[in-house]
Structures are given as structure tokens and as C-alpha cells.
A and B are shown apart, each in its own frame.
Chain A
Amino acid sequence: MSGLTINDKDVVVPGEVLAEGMDYLPSHGTYRLDDTIRAGKLGLARIDGKVIKIIPLSGVYSPRRNDVIICKVFDVLMSGWRVNTFTPYSAMLSMKDGTNEFIMKGANLTKYHQIGDYIMCKVVNVTSQRLIDVTMKGPGLRKLDNGRFIRVNSHKVPRIIGKQGSMVSMVKNATGCRILVGQNGVVWVSGEPEMEILAIETIKKVEKESHVSGLTDTIKVFLEEKTGKKLETKAEEKSEPEGEQQ
């Protein structure tokens, strides 16, 4: 007996048989046991030609090089800052990556980043022992003042941003808030207080209903109802370039 035992996009649980025989290849989140391919975590099974992989639905974010994430400074060291990445591992922001300004020898580093500051930064390197280096040198990487921070499931981040940022720019246009989404699932929202609350409510709604198809339209209706103003169509949104995208 050989062949698939599940369909594309099925929710599978650990240990579930995905395919029998040697016709398919196990990829991310799957493993081979004798002549079966089984799921190695909870998620959506995706079949891509002969390759079966699992897209996780839950679990912690694992940092990858060049990801832009939102972190919180929790310690100031001799040669830089330690930041909380909201993963099991904290990251190092070295002095030269922390600011463009010249830092005098022996200067007080809290002048640049104080404990408790939130920063938008980019992952430079991740080692096998999960030591992480981040940098703030790059377009759009900066300290985040004011506003509110929320945490969402990091696996839902692509859905919150949407295709070419369609979802997040719609929320921005409707609420007038500035929004930044880190790959680690931390979202920064800054604007009028009532609008911040609406933006957060919308983002939570996107997170919760991420599996529903046609979500962009649902959210559009929801935002039009709440703000009482008509939103422009997608095509017009795209012609309006915005700097806050990530």
C-alpha cells in the first residue's frame, strides 16, 4: 500500500500518518518511521509535489537571519545592550550596532537605550546554541516611543501583514495609526487613543480568524462599520506608498 493518507491543508496532529510507502519525501515538521511519513508537530499539512511539510499553527518563534523583530531592552552591559526577543533566548545588541552616533569610551550607554525601551531591530546572526545578534543599522530600524505593544502568535504575522502589506495598510488607513509588525509577533500601534484600541481589536480579530478565507473583505466591512467612513479599494491603497511597511 502506498500513497497519501491525508489531504492538502488538513490539520494534522503529532504521530499522524501522512503518507505510506516511499513515494513521498518528509520535509519540515515530518519524519519517516519505517515506510510511513508521520507528523512531527501540530499544524497544516502541505503537499508540494512529492514533498510533504507541516506549517505550524502554534509554537514559539525561532529567529532567522534578516528577520525584523521588535525587542525590549532589559540590561545594559559594558559593550552593548541585552534585549528580550520574546523567544526562549535573549539577543545581544552591540555598541556599534546600537546607534549611528559616536560613543565616547566609557560613556553611559543608557543615554542611547534605556532599560525598558522597545526597539525595532534586525537579526544579524543566530548560532546553533541560539545566541542571537541584532542590529539597529538599516532602513526603518529605530526606537519605538509612545504607542502600545501587543503580542500575537508569530505564525499569524504573514496574515496580519497580508499580501504586499494589504491587511496592515488597510488598518493603518482606517485608524490613522502607525503600525509596525515584528516577525516575532510583537506589534506596535501608535495613534489617537480610541483608534489605537480599534487597531488592536482589529489585529486580534485577524489573528483569531486567520484561517477564514476572504478575511480582507470581512475586516474591511468591520473597519467601515466601526469608523463610519468608506475605505478606499485595494488598488488605490497600493498606489499610495507608505514608509512604515516592513
Chain B
Amino acid sequence: MSYTKRVDGRKSFTELRPITAKAGVIARADGSAYFKIGNTAAYAAVYGPRELHPRNKQIPTRGLLRCDYVMMPFSGMGDRVRPGPNRRAKEISMVTQKALDPVLDLQDYPNAVVDVFICLPETDAGSRCAGICAASIALADAGVPMKDLICAVSTGQVGDKVVVDLDYAEEAYSDGPVSDIPVAMIPSTGELTLLQMDGEISKKDLMEALKLVKESMNEIYEVQKNALKDKYPAGGDDDE
């Protein structure tokens, strides 16, 4: 049986879920953002650059990026999860850090740290991608020097179709093979900073999926850009 129609009623296999994003949602943080795609929502808060403790973690040649990904205990299907870091959250924290680090320019902050906290109050698949998108807006909002934003969304295969932005129902599709491939990209150069996979996919379909997902990135980039621009209404300082 082939997969003919998307479970949540989206028109095409490349259509993304509705996205909303907002910068500056946490007053006390140096930078913050909210990013929601479908029913997956992420908050990100950035603190720093600030002094790094313990001191043995300091890097004398550049600043360090530290990410912390946490899913709220009530965020998923209602199964209570123990709060705090688990094996999965630690892994995602690490891949998030590696996805964001290539665009950051922390040369001017030796021995310092930029802390990124990502929290997901609501999840419906694609949570690491939503977290990376939120974190990237928050880092820009915090004024951290960076070459570009990072856009992230998942792609993959459901049954016999290559799709973009899977939700949980699609990940759980049981009438055929399923693969879930979270991807993060630097929009200006097209380089990928995150590429993981669950499930199985043929080489041909993988290439097709990566091509489709790159096209979807622009949509996400525009949302991120507008979130930042909306926070700072136009008009310059008179005194500068």
C-alpha cells in the first residue's frame, strides 16, 4: 500500500507545518527566542559570552559554545518522563552544539562561554530541529558574532514517498519503511551542519530527500529573519 495523503492533511509531501517564531521572549536572558513548527514548540535562551567555570573547560584561543536540550516531562504523549538530562537529551545537546558552532565567531571571547538553553514544552517530532532554529534566533538576538543563521528541519521517507518535515504520526507509520532525517543547514553556503538518520532509505531517495529539504530551508530562514526584524522596529539612533 502506498502512502498517498499526509496524515495531518498537508497538501504536498514537501509542505512544512505552520511556523511561528518570535525573538526576545525571555526578559532576563541576553538573547531568547520561541520557535513553533506544527505542534512542536521550542524556547531557547542564550546567556553570555560570560566567564566559564570550571576553569579547566576554558579554551584560551576562543570562546566555547555550550548547549542544553531538555524536553519538558509533559511534552510528549503524556507518558511521564523523568525531568532532567537523559541519554537522548545529552546526545541531542551535543549534536545541537555541533550544528550551531560552525557559524559562530567566538575568537574575540577567549576563555569565555556562550550558554544556550533549549526547552521544549510541546513535542510532535522534529524537536531537535525546532530547538536548533530557536537557538539560532536566540544567538543572533544576543548579539553573538555569527556568519549566518542556522535553519533546520527533518526530511525522510514514509512508505514509498520522500517527505519533508515529518510529524509524529508519520514517524510512526507502520505500513512501510520509514526514515527520519533531521538536517541543519547554513543557508548562505548550503553546507549541512547536522545530518542524522533513524530508519532506512535507499541512496536515490536520500539524495532526493536532501534536495527537497534544501528547498524548504528558505522558508524557515525567512521566518527566522522576520522574527529578528520584528523585535527591532525600523529607525536608527540619532546619536550614532
Q: Is A191 an interface residue (CB 8 A)?
A: no
Q: Which residues of B contact A10 (CB under 8 A)?
A: 234
Question: Are A162 and B148 in contact, with the CB atoms below 8 A?
Answer: no
Q: Is B229 an interface residue (CB 8 A)?
A: yes
Q: Of all chain B residues, which has the CB nearest A212?
A: B235
Chain-B contact segment, one of A40-48, A91-99, A175-183, A221-229: A40-48
**From A31, A58, A162, contact of B143 by CB (8 A):** A58
Question: Are B235 and A14 in contact, with the CB atoms below 8 A?
Answer: no
Could you tell me the distance between the alpha carbons of A215 and B235 in the complex, rounded to whole angstroms?
12
Question: Are B48 and A15 in contact, with the CB atoms below 8 A?
Answer: no
Q: Which residues of B contact A43 (CB under 8 A)?
A: 143
Q: Is B170 an interface residue (CB 8 A)?
A: no
In the complex, per-residue mask of B183-195: 1 if CB is within 8 Å of any chain A CB, else 0: 0001111000000
Interchain pairs with CB closer than 8 A, number = 117
Question: Are A60 and B145 in contact, with the CB atoms below 8 A?
Answer: no
Question: Are B188 and A33 in contact, with the CB atoms below 8 A?
Answer: yes
**From B103, B109, B237, contact of A55 by CB (8 A):** B237
Question: Are B111 and A41 in contact, with the CB atoms below 8 A?
Answer: no
Question: Are A158 and B240 in contact, with the CB atoms below 8 A?
Answer: yes
Could you tell me the distance between the alpha carbons of A33 and B186 in the complex, rounded to whole angstroms?
13
In the complex, per-residue mask of A97-127: 1 if CB is within 8 Å of any chain B CB, else 0: 0000000000000000000000000000000
Q: Which residues of A contact B140 (CB under 8 A)?
A: 13-14, 41-42
Of the listed residues B143, B146, B186, B189, the one surrounded by the most CB atoms of chain A closer than 10 A to its CB is B143
Q: Of all chain B residues, which has the CB nearest A157?
A: B239
Could you tell me the distance between the alpha carbons of A31 and B107 in the complex, rounded to whole angstroms?
15
Given A15-B187, A33-B189, the answer on whether A40 and B145 have CB atoms closer than 8 Å is yes
**From A56, A90, A159, contact of B51 by CB (8 A):** A90
Question: Are A41 and B144 in contact, with the CB atoms below 8 A?
Answer: yes
Q: Is B5 an interface residue (CB 8 A)?
A: no
Q: Is A129 an interface residue (CB 8 A)?
A: yes
Q: Which residues of A contact B238 (CB under 8 A)?
A: 159, 213, 215
Given A15-B149, A60-B49, A211-B233, the answer on whether A55 and B108 have CB atoms closer than 8 Å is no
Q: Is A49 an interface residue (CB 8 A)?
A: no
Q: Is A230 an interface residue (CB 8 A)?
A: no
> What are 11 A-B residue pairs whose CB atoms fall within 8 Å in the complex?
A11-B232, A13-B224, A14-B147, A33-B189, A41-B144, A41-B146, A42-B141, A60-B143, A88-B112, A211-B233, A211-B236
Chain B contact residues, CB within 8 Å of chain A? 30-31, 48-51, 60, 63, 103, 105, 108-112, 140-149, 186-189, 224-225, 228-229, 232-240
Query: Which 10 A-B pairs rank lowest in CB-CB distance, beginning with the nearest?
Result: A59-B143, A15-B148, A58-B143, A9-B236, A88-B112, A14-B146, A88-B49, A11-B232, A13-B228, A42-B140
